[in-house]
Amino acid sequence: MLSLPLASCTVEGANSDADSDELRQRIRVAREKLGDRLMILGHHYQRDSIIEHADETGDSFLLAEMAAASKAEHIVFCGVHFMAESADILTGDEQIVTMPNVRAGCSMADMADLPDVASCWNELLDNCGLGDPATREDPDLPAPDGESYLVPVTYMNSSADLKAFVGHHGGVVCTSSNAAGVLGWALERAGKDGKVLFFPDQHLGRNTALQMGYGDDDMAVWNPMLAPDWQALAGATFVLWHGYCSVHQRFNVEQIEELRAMHPDALVIVHPECDREVVEASDASGSTEMIRKFVADAPTGSIIGVGTEIHLVKRLDAQYPDKYVVCLDAGLCPCSTMYMIHPAYLAELLERMVEGEVVNRIVVPKQIADDAILALDRMLAIVA
């Protein structure tokens, strides 16, 4: 894979208005030349100077669907690495998925890697007397009475090889918009005494299981750095990987209390990657798409505290001038990896594309893609 040299983009020096105007113009000219051959996808957490060029915006699930439906020759993914991998898996062999900056990863996704997850999987099978769904004739069917399995579920925020592991073992991908439905599906495939291994975000797993009516004793956390607590693991229906999002970990109950002390009628919505206590103290929790809908549907004059990445919050505030939309953490940084997608990189990527040069291409090897698509297709079938 060819990649754009870091030195070619003076990111820090490209923030003046003059630079912004010049970059905007360069991107527009290249886009025009590429026409229908190009589709730019922008995640909600991207900066405004990227979003203004996106053909479509959305959360990781919506963007995956848009990539799957697109016929464009070039799909430029302005988001983080695992999203572009999913786009490559879901698009045709003749379509080319690229990123303006391939170094834009996700710290949460990086908290679970294939060797650690495979080791956890094998230990759980051995110690908990569970079957591997891959050994069944049709792992897509509910478990037969009396049989118990370990069903893997990975959040969309994971590398392609983990999605492939999940697909191979009869499991499924989920997003923050469909986690409850997906976990319900997985529990049916696990059987009465089976378990779900959920990774990498413990908070989405825990908050969703609580929302489904499960309690603390039904969950145990797996941390590959610590010795397993086999007593807790034996009784748990959900084994939650210890991962977390560094952005959503910044929200706390005190921030909600402070907002309500100043504005008793304030509404609060947070992302389910936040801690359980934060979710429970809020009026609602949901994916970025749900947060957008919550703000859109709130009455005029509402004060809405939002617990998610700052670019989305600021954009919502600008989009609804009749409401006051504020981030719960006044000092919140943007997602540092999403922020690695800069217009300078996008401009250079598109200009080279115009010249017929493909750089920063994301290619998932076929064997991994074939297994990963099983897990993604199961998700798309569940939510269809």
The residues that touch ligand SF4, with contacts defined as CB under 6 A, are 45, 80, 106-108, 157, 245-247, 309, 335, 337-338
Q: How far is the CB of 106 from ligand SF4 (least distance, A)?
A: 3
When the beta carbons of 141 and 333 are compared against ligand SF4, the nearer one is 333
Torsion on CA atoms 198, 199, 204, 210, rounded to nearest 10? 20
Per-residue three-class SS string for 244-285: CCCCHHHCCHHHHHHHHHHCCCCEEEECCCCCHHHHHHCCEE
The alpha carbon dihedral of 307, 312, 317, 320 has a sign of negative
Q: Which of 66, 60, 24, 20 is nearest to 44 (CA)?
A: 60
Q: How far is the CB of 320 from ligand SF4 (least distance, A)?
A: 22
Instruction: Write down how long the chain is.
Output: 384
CA distances to 123, 132, 147, 148, 199 from 129, rounded to whole Å, are 10, 10, 10, 8, 21
When the beta carbons of 168 and 315 are compared against ligand SF4, the nearer one is 315
Q: How far is the CB of 56 from ligand SF4 (least distance, A)?
A: 18
When the beta carbons of 104 and 353 are compared against ligand SF4, the nearer one is 104
CA distances to 33, 254, 256, 263, 313 from 260, rounded to whole Å, are 51, 10, 6, 5, 18
Q: How far is the CB of 48 from ligand SF4 (least distance, A)?
A: 17
Q: How far is the CB of 245 from ligand SF4 (least distance, A)?
A: 3
Q: How far is the CB of 142 from ligand SF4 (least distance, A)?
A: 31
Q: What is the DSSP letter of 149?
A: B
CA distance 100 to 54: 13
The alpha carbon dihedral of 44, 278, 156, 110 has a sign of positive
Half-sphere exposure (Cβ direction) of 129: Cα atoms closer than 13 Å = 5
Torsion on CA atoms 336, 341, 368, 273, rounded to nearest 10? 40
When the beta carbons of 124 and 270 are compared against ligand SF4, the nearer one is 270
Q: How far is the CB of 78 from ligand SF4 (least distance, A)?
A: 12
Are 373 and 164 in contact, with CB atoms under 8 Å apart? no
When the beta carbons of 72 and 362 are compared against ligand SF4, the nearer one is 362
When the beta carbons of 175 and 302 are compared against ligand SF4, the nearer one is 175
When the beta carbons of 80 and 124 are compared against ligand SF4, the nearer one is 80
Q: How far is the CB of 65 from ligand SF4 (least distance, A)?
A: 18
When the beta carbons of 106 and 267 are compared against ligand SF4, the nearer one is 106
